[in-house]
Structure 1
């Protein structure tokens, strides 16, 4: 899971429980998401990379820079 890219579908930020869709097993699955950098806000539609995974459905993400 760590290192996979996904897209924000619910704003990720301080005081928020965001959501990201990550491609998994030929489909896409939704995960609860938090920013890896405290205080960072990541808007809907932003491409992110999973930095930490906490089973079963929580990830910490950072912006993916192409």
Structure 2
């Protein structure tokens, strides 16, 4: 999971539990998402990279690209 890219489908930010969709295992799956330490709000549609994975369905993410 770590290093995979995904897209925010529910706003991710400090104090929020958001949602991302990640392509994995030949399909796409939704995960609960938290921002990586030092990451601000990530709006819907932002491309993100998974930096930490907590099984079974939680990830920590950061923006994949600088805006």
TM class by shorter-chain length? Answer: over 0.9
TM-score, normalised on structure 2? 0.92
Contact 1:48–1:62 at 8 Å: present in 2 too? yes
Secondary structure, counterpart of 1:30 in structure 2:
strand
What's 2:57 paired with? 57
Query: What is the CA distance between 1:37 and its match in structure 2?
Result: 2.7
Change beyond 3 A, Cα 1:39–1:27: closer
Instruction: Single out whichever of 25-34 and 36-45 deviates more from structure 2.
Output: 36-45
Unaligned runs of 5+ in 1: none
Q: Superposition RMSD on alpha carbons, in Å?
A: 1.4
Q: Write out the 4+ residue segments of structure 1 that deviate beyond 2 Å after TM superposition.
A: none
What secondary structure is seen at the aligned counterpart in 2 of 1:40?
Answer: coil
Normalising by the residue count of structure 1, what TM-score does the alignment of the two structures yield?
0.93
